[in-house]
Amino acid sequence: MATKIPGTMMTTRSVNPYVGCTRLGTMRVCCSSRDKSYVPKLEPFSRKKFDRIVRDPPLIKKTENDLADYCSTMEGDASYNCWKAYFELKELEKEAPKKEVEKVILESGGVKTLIGCLHGISEIHKTRKKLQNQNGSNTGNSHKNKVVSRARKECPVPDGLPKSLEEIEEEETWKMPDSSFTRLLRAKAKGTFPAWQPLAKPKVVFLNPFTMQTLGSFFYISLIFIFYISPFSIALIKYPVPVTRRGLTSLKQTNLNREPDPLLDSIKIEVDPNLKFENPRLKKAYVALQEWKKAMISDPYQMTKNWVGPDVCLYTGVVCSLAPDDENIATVAVIDLNFGDIAGYLVPHLGLLSDLAIVHLHSNRFFGIFPQTLSYLKRLFELDVSNNHFSGPFPSPVLAMSSLRFLDIRYNEFEGQLPSQIFDMDIDALILNNNRFYNHLPKNMGNSPASILVLSNNKFSGCIPRNLGQMPYLEQVSFANNRLTGCLPEEIGMLKYLIVFDVRKNNISGPIPKSLENLKTIGKIDLSCNQFSGKVDDSICTLPTIWNITITDNYFNEIGAECDKLIKDHKLVLLNKDNCLAKKLDQRPEKNCSLVLKNPVDCKTIGCQQRDHVDLKNRKFPGPPLKVQDPSPKTTPTPPKVQDPPHTPKPPPVQQPTKAPAFNDVILPPKTGSR
């Protein structure tokens, strides 16, 4: 009977001792990591909830892309072995049938295992070729085999002879073309060439000795002058010149000061009439991509080098698919330029790509703002522009993308207030960390169905909204390294799917909410670098899936007995440095702890103010009220005079208004920013 492993695509037979083996021609290739207990790991951001808009590419092509993505994350020898396996897979496609290659991929089970399998198959092929060559040399046709082996060599051996005309022409055709920066300068000059650009190839002129002697001194002086002036020295280099910082700054300024984006109807679609396109959508895509290529001022890896011609589906980083509303025509569905290190800006013509579903621009140098025409991308499903230089307020065209489910704009320079409309959209992953957003968090945050919410490393202030507990699918949330104040809302205990909760490096105070004991799926809680106080209850430490609690740099003064027991048994990691815990190492001075713990925080009256010198003067703490004397003098009845004992009575003290001595003279703990 055939048994299918859950979560995998391969079928094995319990009778066959070679589990995970496949037959490649006359060979048997086995991968030892494949057995019945193997279950592949899930990706960090699993999108199994959503139906993929774009059809998956063929298995072999998908495996090549996954292998290339994996190799780009490796370094050193691991990177060399990974890329070696990538090219071995390319060779295997040429030598073996397609079905056998797909069978090897399916039975390998993953990228790491596939690398080892490809190395083994490559070694088997090399050994077989050596044996065939040895057997051929023993026959009488040894001379013919040598001639054939020489003909199969890809690179000719240099013979030291001068290059022929054909070789020179071939080198000229394969020279690197002008960079996009050069084309941009030519466009700005309206067709004229820059001063350092040679207009034509220099002609070779043979001079007699007398002419050379006459012009020798002049040539020497002119050569020094050419190398002295930098623009002319650049002209001697035939490779693209890298963009200087001054050039980038001026182009940024030009991008910010350019005219408002025209509407899509006003964009003229003019192409060469000799170019033929399969359908009007590909024609619009050609116009959009060509205009975007003009706006790219630096492309060091030449990712857009083949963006030439009408067949846009063959462009690097561009994937076409059948149109969702008409399966008889093809359209551009994906743009993936991750790790391209491309400098430039987005052009309004990108709004012509109405069927675009996925845009990945991670780790580039794009700058400027989003064109308003991007709001026409109604089918856009994923948008990843992380690790770039985009600036300005939150990109408003994103709010009009009704199909958007994944938004990643981290590591940019966006600033201003976060629009509340973003939490009314049906977005599953909202990643906005490492920008310059500020002001209070929107009060409608609980309307979002997101499962991942990352707002860390910004400048948000105020309290965490209470309706955060109304987010039905929230699994990971991070407010780390902001300026949030107040107490944690009790509504956090309503997040029944929460796995990671991170609020480190803020100004949040008060005790840990009792409702956190309802988080049955929580795995990690990070409350470090705040002003929490009180006790860490056993109900928090004994949650079924908890494994890490970080309370470093707070004012906790007690930990439950069950928590200590779990720490000793190495079943729980609880980092408690710089607190007020008795009989624990690396704690705060007792003086600082007593001054804070004498004034416990009442979360019902604290509001969203910071716990510092200014706010503590006007804050009301629970307990007996302060006795403040009335500054106005009061007439009190004088007691009867007593003869004995004979001493002079002391004069009454001068009545003056007090200035809350209990708080002005207190040495408060430093704020988070000064630690």
- Kindly indicate the confidence band of residue 541, based on its pLDDT and cuts at 50, 70 and 90: very high
pLDDT tens digit sequence for 549-565: 999 999 999 999 999 99
- Residue 374 inside a domain? The answer is no
pLDDT at 271: 81
Q: Which of 64-68, 283-287, 354-358, 664-668 has the lowest mean pLDDT?
A: 664-668
- Residue 553 inside a domain? The answer is yes
The last residue of a domain, from among 560, 576, 607: 607
- Residue 540 inside a domain? The answer is yes
- Kindly indicate the confidence band of residue 655, based on its pLDDT and cuts at 50, 70 and 90: very low
pLDDT at 511: 93
- Kindly indicate the confidence band of residue 77, based on its pLDDT and cuts at 50, 70 and 90: confident
Beta-bridge mates of residue 335: 318, 359
The last residue of a domain, from among 607, 626, 657: 607
Radius of gyration over every alpha carbon of the chain, rounded to an integer in angstroms:
36
- Residue 444 inside a domain? The answer is yes
pLDDT at 7: 42
Task: Please tell me which residue, 623 or 470, carries the higher pLDDT value.
Answer: 470
**Mean pLDDT across the stretch 625-654?**
46
CATH code: domain of residue 508: 3.80.10.10
pLDDT tens digit sequence for 180-222: 555 555 554 444 443 333 434 434 444 455 444 555 555 555 5
- Residue 25 inside a domain? The answer is yes
- Res 28 pLDDT > 60: no
pLDDT tens digit sequence for 49-63: 444 444 557 888 888
Estimate the share of the chain in helix, then strand, then coil, as percent rounded to the nearest 5.
35, 15, 50
- Residue 135 inside a domain? The answer is no
What is the chain's mean pLDDT, rounded? 74
Q: If we measure between CA atoms, which residue out of 442, 449, 433 comes closest to residue 482? A: 433
pLDDT at 268: 75
Task: Please tell me which residue, 357 or 215, carries the higher pLDDT value.
Answer: 357
Pull the structure tokens for residue 344: 């430039």
Count of structural domains, the chain: 2
- Kindly indicate the confidence band of residue 25, based on its pLDDT and cuts at 50, 70 and 90: low
Residue 455 lies in domain? 415-607
510 φ/ψ sector (left φ>0, alpha ψ -120 to 50, else beta): left
The last residue of a domain, from among 127, 155, 190: 127
- Residue 652 inside a domain? The answer is no
pLDDT at 630: 44
DSSP 164-192: PHHHHHHHHHTS----HHHHHHHHHTTTP
pLDDT at 628: 39
- Residue 289 inside a domain? The answer is no
**Mean pLDDT across the stretch 427-448?**
94
Q: If we measure between CA atoms, which residue out of 83, 113, 254 comes closest to residue 184? A: 254
Q: Which of 127-136, 249-258, 376-385, 636-645 has the lowest mean pLDDT?
A: 249-258
